[in-house]
Structure 1
Amino acid sequence: MHQPATGASADQKFPPAINIIALASFSAALSTRALDPVLPHVAEDFSISVTTAASIAAGYALIYALVQPVIGAAADMFGKARLMTLCLALLGVASILGAVATTFSGLFASRILAGIAAGGVFPVALGLTADLVVPAKRQVAIGRTLAGSMTGNLLGATASGIIGEFIGWRGVLMILGALGLIAAVAVAAGFRGAALTAPPKTDFKALRQGYRTIFANPNTRYCYSAVFVEGCCVFGLFPFIAALLFDLGEKSPSIAGIVIAGFAVGGLFYTFTVSRFLPWLGVKGMMIAGAGLVGLQLGLLALGPQWKLQFVSMLAMGWGFYMIHGCLQVFASELSVGARATAMSLHSFFFFMGQTVGPIAYGLGLQHGGKVPTLLVSAAIMVTLGLVCARWLKSRAPADARA
């Protein structure tokens, strides 16, 4: 019987390729929020409104979600490491094309291309991690992959703002392009001759069988529904944090950035502590404690504390979020062996679709119900989610697992 996660020592050894995967995740994540701090300069250069310039971010996120089922299937058919290398190279080229774009439509097209490429890195990275590490050690290994991604998200926005001050937004994209190409070379070299547990599939019959295997697993409905709810309740709040701080008199964008960064810091704290808390709490305890911690912080944010306390609360929220999200990722990695990249990409698809629906739901709630009821309802949903996942997610060997 496969176990999604059990006790793991802090000093356990992982294959060297895990560090290469973390580097790939870091490189792709850098691109996600990199243009946000320099959008006013983009708008000025192309003589458009900031609102129009901001459509870059929306288009990037939407295409990132929509390509997930296709990317996962392609990875299972043609090889995960091969596809990740291709996507990183494409990300590098797309960023460089954006840096030399002479029209906004050209820049927009380059960011759509970058969203497709970035969408093919992270879920495939999770699938590769699962291929290289046995289930008992997988949650800690996935934590390392998450650390790379979260560090990239954290630095992508902050560093690009500083870099943009000196060499402009085109310089930001040029640096991103160079890093993407370097990461592609590193992945290609790091996985040369690496032994993976699941060889690539090369026919559509195997792909169809993979989808049947995934959706025949009773855990699938809970994994995918749970990450959709997470995306709604947690990441759906982020676009409104600056506005909520504005209502409290904190009108500085940098303050909002610091508060939001607390979530990423909490996520990094999770990656450093998961190997210690997992043996103590177990998988069920991690899901209940994590969802409960998120719910508590949403309740505290409803009270409108000053921004320094909100930073601490967001830090705790990030820690709690990844406690439950990390468990869900491990369960998703065990939905199928032969179609593991497909399973992880569908996991990301539902997660990002939750992030698409979440801001709409929060917007309606804040407009018609007010801040306190909206955040308290979201808190109650998260607490319930942890209890439901702990109750219904079971350790099950994939139907296509080898004896």
Structure 2
Amino acid sequence: MSQGEARPHDHGLPPALYVISGASFAAALSARALDPVLPHIAEDFSVSIATAAGFSAVFAFTFAVIQPLIGAAADLFGKPRLMIGCLAVLGVASILGALSTSFPLLFATRILAGVGSGGVFPIALSLTSDLVGPEKRQIAIGRTLAGAMTGNLLGASASGLIGDFLGWRGVLAVLGVLVIVASIAVAAGFRGAKIKHPPKTSLSALRTGYRTIFTNPNAPVCYSAVFIEGCCVLGLFPYIASFLFDLGETSLSVAGIVIAGFAVGGLFYTMTVSRLLPWLGVKGMMIAGTVLVASQLVAVAFGPRWEIQTLNLVVMGWGFYMAHGCLQVFASELSVEARATALSLHSFFFFMGQTVGPLAYGFGLAHGGKGPTLFASAGIMVVLGLVCARLLRQRAPADARA
């Protein structure tokens, strides 16, 4: 019996979720922090915006490729300690980035930051899934997402504000200090949190876990879907500041506010998921979410004022997490014994999509233009929601225990 199932009388959610949400918040601060200041980084190092957008791609790629190793390590050696160590690595990498004297050196620090960030969020989801049974899991994951969304919100909006006063180096320095302080605070919180450590998984059990995951018919659908999400939605973000520059809006604070709108939409999702789920059901959530995303991609393609684009990003974030939250729950049920591995693979494919996304958008914008590129992404998202609603089914993991 899982820890969440061991407490059927508890109608609330475990207090340890607050600690897990805090860890997600700290890691998420860095995810979108450089997007608002990319034009200034490009100017300082005399590179193009497309080249500077490679920071998002390399961060996502490193985050992605580390996932199979992180998931296996978490299942083998325990999750909380690994998560806290990764937070410390992320903080140090950010401080080193602030001290970078060349573009390649800054690029290298973003690789290290991707490694640190990559160890936090999937483990947070896995711990949440360990603590809460399937009947409450989507709501619990929503609470964990709230921490990440708040981090994304502050990371994007505050970085634009700090960038206007202290430059992009100030952004990374402040971020690094905050994440290191957060790692200490989260470590203290875990000492008081009543999280039972599950038995460590053996290598043979881990191999069995991989077989369990990939023989589940939901696995290829889940992993393909999050790859496409990452490409079509998150791949757009490095170009939002340059879109605003094209409209004559050169304030980094404004770019940060627009990008932060997506996180506001994610927070709105966490506040509405408990009402939307009984009303729409899982299939309805996936279809409605992808349609909302598609509609806002089309709206952004027409280049409205930044105030309107902020609202577009709010609605886009709400719709995105309506669909993405469903996929996370399906991924958490691919395996019980190797749940951290299953969710790390989920993050692997999601961030591989974010790696390909900026490159695909760069190619599309250069050869097809803004409108056709965003229209194509919108169409793909609508098809994705319909396909997922049709193919994904609730299935008990093959290694589930009574």
TM-score by length of 2: 0.86
Q: Which runs of 5+ in 1 are unaligned?
A: 3-10
Q: Deviations along 1:3-46, whole A, 9 cap, x unmatched?
A: xxxxxxxx9621111011111011111123334555677789xx
Kept after mapping to 2: 8 A contact 1:60/1:111: yes
Kept after mapping to 2: 8 A contact 1:40/1:50: no
Task: Identify if the C-alpha distance between structure 1 residues 389 and 352 changes in structure 2 by more than 3 Å, giving closer, same or farther.
Answer: same
Q: Deviations along 1:256-304, whole A, 9 cap, x unmatched?
A: 4333222221111111111111111111111111111112222333344
Q: Which residue of 1 aligns with 2:306?
A: 307
For residue 194 of structure 2, give the secondary structure of its aligned residue in structure 1: coil
CA RMSD of superposed structures (Å): 2.9
For residue 335 of structure 2, give the secondary structure of its aligned residue in structure 1: coil
Query: Aligned-pair distance for 1:86?
Result: 1.7
Aligned counterparts of 1:75 and 1:162: Cα–Cα separation in 2: 36
Aligned counterparts of 2:101 and 2:199: Cα–Cα separation in 1: 43
Aligned counterparts of 2:261 and 2:38: Cα–Cα separation in 1: 22
Aligned counterparts of 1:398 and 1:258: Cα–Cα separation in 2: 41
Q: Deviations along 1:365-387, whole A, 9 cap, x unmatched?
A: 33444433333332222111111
Q: Deviations along 1:308-343, whole A, 9 cap, x unmatched?
A: 332222211111010000100111111111111111
Q: Which residue of 2 aligns with 1:191?
A: 190
Q: Which residue of 2 aligns with 1:5?
A: none
Q: Which residue of 2 aligns with 1:343?
A: 342
Aligned counterparts of 2:358 and 2:106: Cα–Cα separation in 1: 25
Aligned counterparts of 1:35 and 1:255: Cα–Cα separation in 2: 14
Aligned counterparts of 1:246 and 1:172: Cα–Cα separation in 2: 20
Kept after mapping to 2: 8 A contact 1:14/1:133: yes
Query: Aligned-pair distance for 1:78?
Result: 0.7
Aligned counterparts of 2:38 and 2:249: Cα–Cα separation in 1: 21
Kept after mapping to 2: 8 A contact 1:132/1:197: no
Q: Which residue of 1 aligns with 2:374?
A: 375
Query: Aligned-pair distance for 1:363?
Result: 3.2
Q: Which residue of 2 aligns with 1:400?
A: 399
For residue 127 of structure 2, give the secondary structure of its aligned residue in structure 1: helix
Task: Identify if the C-alpha distance between structure 1 residues 309 and 210 changes in structure 2 by more than 3 Å, giving closer, same or farther.
Answer: same
Identity of aligned residues (%): 70
Query: Aligned-pair distance for 1:125?
Result: 0.6
Q: Which residue of 2 aligns with 1:74?
A: 73
Q: Which residue of 2 aligns with 1:8?
A: none
Query: Aligned-pair distance for 1:305?
Result: 3.4
Query: Aligned-pair distance for 1:356?
Result: 1.8
> Residues 37-186 of structure 1 correspond to what in structure 2 (within 5 A)?
48-49=45-46, 51=48, 56-99=55-98, 107-163=106-162, 172-186=171-185
Kept after mapping to 2: 8 A contact 1:227/1:328: yes
Q: Deviations along 1:45-76, whole A, 9 cap, x unmatched?
A: xx743557765554333211211111111111
Kept after mapping to 2: 8 A contact 1:80/1:200: no
Aligned counterparts of 1:305 and 1:101: Cα–Cα separation in 2: 36
Task: Identify if the C-alpha distance between structure 1 residues 377 and 102 changes in structure 2 by more than 3 Å, giving closer, same or farther.
Answer: closer
Kept after mapping to 2: 8 A contact 1:231/1:358: yes
Aligned counterparts of 1:248 and 1:162: Cα–Cα separation in 2: 20
Kept after mapping to 2: 8 A contact 1:69/1:345: yes
For residue 318 of structure 2, give the secondary structure of its aligned residue in structure 1: helix
Aligned counterparts of 1:43 and 1:71: Cα–Cα separation in 2: 32
Q: Which residue of 1 aligns with 2:275?
A: 276
Task: Identify if the C-alpha distance between structure 1 residues 314 and 220 changes in structure 2 by more than 3 Å, giving closer, same or farther.
Answer: same
Aligned counterparts of 1:280 and 1:217: Cα–Cα separation in 2: 28
Structure 1 window deviating more from structure 2 (172-181 vs 390-399): it is: 172-181
Task: Identify if the C-alpha distance between structure 1 residues 87 and 168 changes in structure 2 by more than 3 Å, giving closer, same or farther.
Answer: same
Q: Which residue of 2 aligns with 1:26?
A: 25
Query: Aligned-pair distance for 1:130?
Result: 0.6
> Residues 177-256 of structure 1 correspond to what in structure 2 (within 5 A)?
177-192=176-191, 194-196=194-196, 198-201=198-201, 203-248=202-247, 250=249, 252-256=251-255
Q: Deviations along 1:137-164, whole A, 9 cap, x unmatched?
A: 1111111111111211221133234445
Aligned counterparts of 1:179 and 1:317: Cα–Cα separation in 2: 28
TM-score by length of 1: 0.86
Instruction: Tell me the number of residue pairs that the alignment of Structure 1 and Structure 2 aligns.
Output: 391
One-letter amino acid of the structure 1 residue matched with residue 46 of structure 2: S
Kept after mapping to 2: 8 A contact 1:91/1:118: yes
Q: Deviations along 1:227-252, whole A, 9 cap, x unmatched?
A: 11111211222233344445555555
Q: Does 1:262 align with 2:258?
A: no
Task: Identify if the C-alpha distance between structure 1 residues 99 and 350 changes in structure 2 by more than 3 Å, giving closer, same or farther.
Answer: same
Q: Which residue of 2 aligns with 1:355?
A: 354
Q: Which runs of 5+ in 2 are unaligned?
A: 3-9
